[in-house]
Structure 1
Amino acid sequence: MAGPLDRPAGIQPPKAFSADPAVTDKEEVAVHEKAFALLERSATYGQEARSPIEAELSAL
């Protein structure tokens, strides 16, 4: 099973995120959009996400 920091080849995390919740700089907005798009693509939902969580909890 892949670890939390494993990512497909060529996919790099953004350099930094702003601590300010009001992001207005166009370049910074683009960084956030790209980061969230990558997170969305790698996310799992429903039972696919629930199964590994339940397995880990039962192993405790």
Structure 2
Amino acid sequence: MTIRRGGSWGAAAAVPSELRVVPTDRDARAWVLAHRETDRPLKAVGLAGGDLARTVGGGAP
């Protein structure tokens, strides 16, 4: 699948009830590491900003 700027791709989805939203890539990493270090299962995480959020189409242009 080729993703082109301004093209239509993906679909809207329901927000999981346990969604954790983090503001930066660093916070996402810390959240993932904290779960891995304590053997807790990873749950959904939302990215409110940072390079990764912009890469997947979120954040400011």
The answer to whether the superposition gives a TM-score over 0.5 is no
Query: Which structure shows the higher strand fraction?
Result: 2
TM range (shorter): under 0.3
Larger fraction in helix: 1
TM-score of the two chains, using structure 1 as the length reference: 0.26
Report which of the two structures shows the higher radius of gyration computed on alpha carbons: 1
> Highest relative contact order (Cα 8 Å, sep 6+), 1 or 2?
2
**TM-score, normalized by length of structure 2?**
0.26
